[in-house]
Structure 1
Amino acid sequence: MGVRVAVLGATGAVGKEMLTILEERNFPADAIHALASRRSIGRQVSYGDRTLKCVDAAGFDFSQVDLVLASAGGDISREYGPKITASGAILVDNSSAFRMEPDIPLVVPEVNPDAVDGVSKARIIANPNCSTIQTVVALKPLHDLAGITRVSVSTYQSVSGAGTGAMDELWRQTKGRFVNDPVEKNEFSKQIAFNVIPRIGDLMPGGTTNEEWKMAVETKKILDPDIRLIATCVRVPVFVGHGVAAHVEFAKEISPKLARDTLRDAPGVMLVDNREDDGFVTPVECVGEFAVFVSRVRVDPTVEHGLAMWIVSDNLRKGAALNAVQIAELLLERNHLG
C-alpha cells in the first residue's frame, strides 16, 4: 500500500525539486497533491510525465494525506504545522521553524537515521540548513574515525538558496552589466552579479548572522554537541550549488590518505580528489546530482591534528528536496507511514 503525499510550496524551486525527486526515486505515492498559496491556484507543476494543478493550501483537508513535504518558509510552516499534525499526517519541513525544538528530530539520513524514530512525539521532522547538510554528510565518517573537536568553515552559497526571486535578480543584473543598465537590488542588499556578499541572513548580537548560527547549532544537534564550529557564510554569483571550505580539527591523528579512503566508502559521499588541475568538483558540475562531493583533502598544518577539504553539493537537491525525500523513505522503511 502506498503513501498519500502533499507538497506544500509546490511552485517554489525546492517544491518543484521535491516533486521531481519523488518521481525519480519511485517513491510509492498512491496520491500526490501540489499545494500553494491562493495566488497560485490552477498553476501547473510537473510530476514525472504528469502535470499537477496547484490547489489552495488554506482550504486543503490534510486528513487526505499521510505525509506533507513543506518548503514554503518558516511562517507558513508554523501556521500549517499544527493543522497538518492534528489531521494525523506527518510533516517533513524544510524551513528553520522547528529545527531547534528539542522534541523535533533534525535529520540527515546518512548521519543520524535513528533520530526519525522521535517523530512519534510531535509528528514533525525538520530538514536542516542546506550548507549544514552537505557539511555533516562529509564530516560524519571522519568524526567516527578520529573524533572532530572543532571546525571552521567558509561557505560559498548560490543564489538559489535565497529563492526564485534571487535567481532572477542574478540573471537580470548579469545581463544588465553588458548593456550598462543601472543595478536594481531587490533580493540582496548589494549587487550580486560579478560580486560576493559576505552576509547571509540577519545579524545577531556579536556580529554572527543567523545563517552562520544555524550551521553551528545544527551540527551540534545532528552530529555531536561537543563539536565547536564557526562559519562565515558568503553569497556568490552562482545559480545552483553550494561550496564549503572546511578546516577540521580532530582529537586523534588522521592522515589525508586515511580520510580519503574513509570518504570513498561513505554513504552519500563522492570523493573526487585527483592532484590535477581539474581534479576537483565545482558547483556547476554538481547540479542535478544526489551526492555530496569532497575534493582537495589535505593537511591543515596550523593545528595538531587538522585536515582541510572542499565540499560541494546541489543545494536544491541534497541540500533540501532530496534530504526531505530520503527522510520520507526512512519513515516508510521504519513503519512510521502508511
Structure 2
Amino acid sequence: MCRRTFGLSDRTLGVLNALLTFHPRNELDPAESLVVFPSNATLSARVHGMPESTLRRHLGHLVRAGFLIRRDSPNGKRYARRARDGDQGRAFGFDLTPLLQRAGEIAEAAEMVEAEAEELRRQREDLAVDLREASDLSADESESVFTEIRKALRRVLSKEAVAEMRARLAVVLDALRSRLAAAKRSEVSGNDTQNERHHQRSKPYYPDESTAPPNEPTLEHVREVCPDIESFCPGGTKDWSSLFASVEMLGRMIGIGPKLWSQAVDAMGPRAAAATLAALVQRTSEIRNPSAYLTVLVRKARHGAFSSKVMLGSLSAAQS
C-alpha cells in the first residue's frame, strides 16, 4: 500500500515477501536470528522464476531502502552454521531486523496513504455530484467541460487533477445558478393578473385513478423507489390523490412554491409531477437547490425532453 513512500516497486515487494517465507515463524522475534539464507536459485523459484540478474537488482533496492542488511560470509555464499547442540548457529544471508525496527514507521506510512486515498475518493465523489448538478441545470449537456470530466472520471486521477476539475466546474455551476436565480426573479415579477391565475391553477389536481399512461410511472414504482415519502403521509400513499397531496405539502417544505408546482403540473401532468417531486424529496441530501432543479426539469418537460419514468428508473438503478 505504501510502497511508493519508500520508493519500492511491486516486484521489489514481491522479492521481500518471498524472503519472508524463508523465516521459520510467522512473526519476527528480536530474540531470535532474523537472517534468511536462500540461494539465488531457490529464491528465484519462490518468485515464479525471476531471472537472477533481476533478482539481484531488486535485492539491492531493498538493501538501499533500508529494509534488509547483507550479512556476507567469507566466501560470499549464504548459509547457516550448526551449533554443537544442533540448533542454528551463525547465519550469513539477508538480515530482516530492519523490518522489525521500522514496523512503526511502515504502519504510519500505510495509514497516511490510506487516509490520502480516502480523501481522493471523497473528492472524486464530490466532483461526480457537482457534475450531475451542472448537467441537470444546463440546457446543453454536451458542453465540452462536462464531456471532458466524464471521461476523466473513468481514469485514475491525482488529487491535484481532481481539484483542478472541481475548480473549473465551480465556475460553470456559479454561472448556471446565477442564470436560474435571474430567471426566478423574472417569474416572480409577473403582474397581478398572472398572480391571480397562478393561485387559481395551483389548486390540487387529483388525477383520474382509472387511467395510467404508459409513459408515466406507476404508483407502485413511486412507492418502491421513493420510500421516504411514506413517512410524511399519515394514511399512506394508497392512491395518486394522497400522494399528490403529500408531495404538494412537502414541496413547500423544501422551497418549491405554489407557482413552480403549478408549472410542473402543467408541463408534466399531475401523475408525472407528483412522481418527480417524490423523487426530489428522496434525493434532498444530494440536491442543493430543489427549486432550481425542478425549474430546469419543467423547462425540459415543456420541450418534451423529460420523463419522470426515466428519472425514477435512474434513481432505482443508483439505489441498487
TM over 0.5: no
TM-score category, normalised to shorter length: under 0.3
Per the normalisation by structure 2, the TM-score is 0.22
Determine which structure has more spread, i.e. the larger CA radius of gyration: 2
Q: Which has the higher contact order (CA 8 A, sep 6+)?
A: 1
